[in-house]
Chain A
């Protein structure tokens, strides 16, 4: 093996000499010790931001939709932009923990738990937006098919109803998957705690998990089945979100490539979000031994790959807009980059197609400032992509008589900011209150790479 060129040699996914007990000591203890003062300060700030957002929601609900910028012709303003944005962020967790599991990519093990948490929290933020945007947020049950005094059913032909089904299913399944992965770790937390009450609580939460080989057999089977089904689910959810737009006949929305393009976009923004989270987490919580440079390198490769697919989609969209030879479609696409809000379209292209090309250089994939810059750029770019698609398409539709402008109000911005606050608050709580690495998945890797390391040393 010594004759292998450097670039072909496999780098270990666990660095340094660690034992199984060390992993618990490093990772699980995070949820048991008292966090530093800076953590409290951070939580205070983010929860304040979250509260401002929630107060704005309250103001909006009591005073009406008119307090937001939504108005004819741009009836889907910030709320839907934010909804699609957050759903997108949420996709990375599923893709990392599920698709990479099916492809037996070991490097997912160390990052899956936190990525799944990102999914759940992003979904909480995402679901807020359609809920407050339906006009009468106190009647969300009207979206469900139940026998009612009106004697009629919801229209299953409506993509918005598909959306309801998709988003609720996805949210439920994400939590289920997350929780199921937590069960063995909760059992190991039970073993660590000194407090009798906590022991009882962890015992209940892990359903008395004892690690029986027969249980593990069923558990792994269920985990794989769940992964398979959730893959289909993840593909379908953002596809269905895209069909909210693509099944219409609005120029700029009616594009057959929308379903896969939205899925890829979702994964793209999600991976960028996960890069930011891990760039921060691995140094702050001193987890470089488990979330190694190789992890970050692979994550950044995913970002690069997805950026290329995004670029392909943009090219296809632009080309087909021209190729359709439909004047309205041609106009709307020209308007994205040359129109009154040209900066939105251009920013999208720059952040999503140009900036990530930096990651072709291995150095950039390993430099924290570079990767955070790219990832932040991608997050911004993906937000503006949704802004471009939703708002710029709506404000210039078929008839010039229906053209209008869209002006977001302070309420719009505060709710957006508030959703970021909610997300960060939940994430910070998670990072110090729950097992952030799936220990039962990383432990076999430790054994594997320690054995390999010993082999190399021996040789």
Chain B
């Protein structure tokens, strides 16, 4: 069976001529018409009976989604996930989130409008459009107005349609063949796949090259490289050859009390916990313990943390009876000065925090070996 034609096309010299022709052609019983014009002709949509565009609804939905989405993200990022408290503002500072919200909404709305218009509602691209193969298209994009009768019904006759168009004033009447619906063959697929693979290979290679080369390129190094002494660098200027100066004899840093006791036992006798007995101290101890101690000693203090399996030294089991018997001051001394392979934490953890850790260790020990009255 011969495939039916795409339609019968005629060209008109002006928009007015086209608009006048449409009712005449319609009167002959051709209901399905299409028009092709060099610019949007007003009144054409009514003459052809085109439905109104639904684009607005889609754009509204996407713009609303953009607004809600960006606002929700800002709220989640800056108030929930990582609360940023600056300027004395609330975590929920909505006025400041409006500008990005607006931009997000507009971004999504505009791109939806343009892309949905082209690719969803107009179903472009259609490079196989039969009009594109006809010389008429070049006149239509310049100054001619095309009217196309689309075949409908079994009794459609091309010659009759052509006559109707001519009678309405159309010139250069021609029949557009139906678009080919050939599927791409195997060779096309091979070519396309090879091209994509080649593009991927080139892009991958370029990326690998860029990653190799660029991290070594350091622009603007003059912040890093400047005539100054960094910490612990030697300097011949001073008699002892050190770049860093030592504090004068007997100085004590602000907020720090040096531990003058020499060993653990003495520490146990001399050092006394200054903190009050409150839930806040325990909470502070828990936080500091989890931050600094739990990596090795485990969150329960068992000394069997994830690291211990890959780490040759054995962290102390804080739940052991030795540790339970050890004085508070001794624990404090160990945290401050270090013990065996455990480093000193005096530089990283403040004295009060160290005492809070000791307090928390005691709570941990009690939690794992609670007397019966605690459980009631």
Q: Residue B86 contacts which of A157, A203, A213 (CB distance < 8 angstroms)? A: A157
A63 interface contact, C-beta 8 A: yes
Give the complex CA separation of A65 and B93 in angstroms: 34
Interface size on A, residues (CB 8 A): 72
| A180 (CB) vs chain B CBs: closest residue | B114
Give the complex CA separation of A165 and B100 in angstroms: 6
| Shortest Cβ distance from residue A20 to the other chain B in the assembled complex, whole angstroms | 4
Give the complex CA separation of A161 and B110 in angstroms: 21
Stretch of B42-50, B154-162, B277-285, B345-353 on the interface side: B42-50
Q: Is the CB of A173 within 8 A of B110?
A: yes
Q: Is the CB of A212 within 8 A of B103?
A: no
Q: Is the CB of B110 within 8 A of A191?
A: no
Known: A191-B137, A229-B106, A440-B39. A219 touches B44 (CB 8 A): no
| B128 (CB) vs chain A CBs: closest residue | A208
Stretch of A1-9, A182-190, A416-424 on the interface side: A182-190
Q: Which residues of A in the span 215-268 have a Cβ within 8 Å of any Cβ on B?
A: 215-222, 225-226, 229-230, 232-233, 236, 240, 243
Contacts of A444 in B (CB 8 A): 15, 39-41
Known: A207-B118, A229-B110, A447-B15. A20 touches B140 (CB 8 A): no
| Most chain A CB neighbours (cut-off 10 Å) among B89, B97, B103, B138 | B103
* A-contact bits for B74-105, CB 8 A (1 contact / 0 none): 10011001101011010001001101101110
Q: Residue B39 contacts which of A152, A207, A441 (CB distance < 8 angstroms)? A: A441
| Shortest Cβ distance from residue B55 to the other chain A in the assembled complex, whole angstroms | 5
Contacts of A207 in B (CB 8 A): 118, 124-125
B142 interface contact, C-beta 8 A: yes
B30 interface contact, C-beta 8 A: no
Q: Is the CB of B220 within 8 A of A63?
A: yes
Interface size on B, residues (CB 8 A): 69
Known: A21-B142, A188-B38. A173 touches B107 (CB 8 A): yes
* A-contact bits for B104-126, CB 8 A (1 contact / 0 none): 10110111011011100110111
Give the complex CA separation of A219 and B103 in angstroms: 23
A162 interface contact, C-beta 8 A: yes
Contacts of B256 in A (CB 8 A): none
* B-contact bits for A46-86, CB 8 A (1 contact / 0 none): 00000000000000011111100000000000000000000
Contacts of B73 in A (CB 8 A): 145
Instruction: Say whether chain A's binding surface is mostly helix, strand, loop, or mixed.
Output: helix
Known: A156-B77, A219-B40, A243-B99. A212 touches B106 (CB 8 A): no
Give the complex CA separation of A201 and B279 in angstroms: 74
| Shortest Cβ distance from residue B240 to the other chain A in the assembled complex, whole angstroms | 35
Known: A20-B38, A176-B114, A240-B99. A229 touches B109 (CB 8 A): yes
A408 interface contact, C-beta 8 A: no
Known: A187-B141, A213-B34. A156 touches B74 (CB 8 A): yes
B56 interface contact, C-beta 8 A: yes
Q: Is the CB of B129 within 8 A of A155?
A: no
| A150 (CB) vs chain B CBs: closest residue | B82
Give the complex CA separation of A440 and B125 in angstroms: 20
B368 interface contact, C-beta 8 A: no
Q: Is the CB of B220 within 8 A of A176?
A: no
B131 interface contact, C-beta 8 A: yes
* A-contact bits for B200-224, CB 8 A (1 contact / 0 none): 0000000000000010000110110
Give the complex CA separation of A225 and B113 in angstroms: 7
Q: Is the CB of B99 within 8 A of A166?
A: yes
Contacts of A190 in B (CB 8 A): 138, 141
A294 interface contact, C-beta 8 A: no
B59 interface contact, C-beta 8 A: yes
| Most chain B CB neighbours (cut-off 10 Å) among A63, A188, A213 | A213
| Shortest Cβ distance from residue B309 to the other chain A in the assembled complex, whole angstroms | 25
A369 interface contact, C-beta 8 A: no
Give the complex CA separation of A277 and B223 in angstroms: 43
Contacts of A216 in B (CB 8 A): 37, 39-41, 44
Q: Is the CB of B50 within 8 A of A214?
A: yes
B235 interface contact, C-beta 8 A: no
A192 interface contact, C-beta 8 A: yes
Q: Is the CB of B39 within 8 A of A184?
A: yes
Q: Which residues of B in the span 124-165 have a Cβ within 8 Å of any Cβ on A?
A: 124-127, 129, 131-132, 137-143, 146
Q: Is the CB of A217 within 8 A of B99?
A: no
Contacts of A154 in B (CB 8 A): 77
Enumerate 19 A-B pairs (CB-CB under 8 Å) in ascending A order.
A138-B219, A145-B73, A156-B77, A156-B78, A157-B84, A157-B93, A162-B103, A177-B110, A191-B142, A207-B125, A212-B36, A213-B41, A214-B50, A216-B39, A221-B55, A229-B113, A233-B110, A439-B38, A444-B40
| Given A210-B129, A443-B38: 9 more A-B contacts, CB < 8 Å | A24-B143, A65-B220, A153-B78, A162-B100, A180-B114, A207-B124, A210-B36, A221-B117, A222-B114
Q: Which residues of A pack against B, CB within 8 Å?
A: 19-21, 24, 61-66, 136-138, 145, 151-157, 159, 161-162, 165-166, 169, 172-173, 176-177, 180, 183-184, 187-188, 190-192, 203-204, 207-222, 225-226, 229-230, 232-233, 236, 240, 243, 439-441, 443-444, 447
In order of increasing CB-CB distance, the 10 nearest A-B pairs are A191-B138, A20-B143, A222-B117, A153-B77, A162-B99, A213-B35, A221-B53, A188-B141, A216-B40, A207-B125
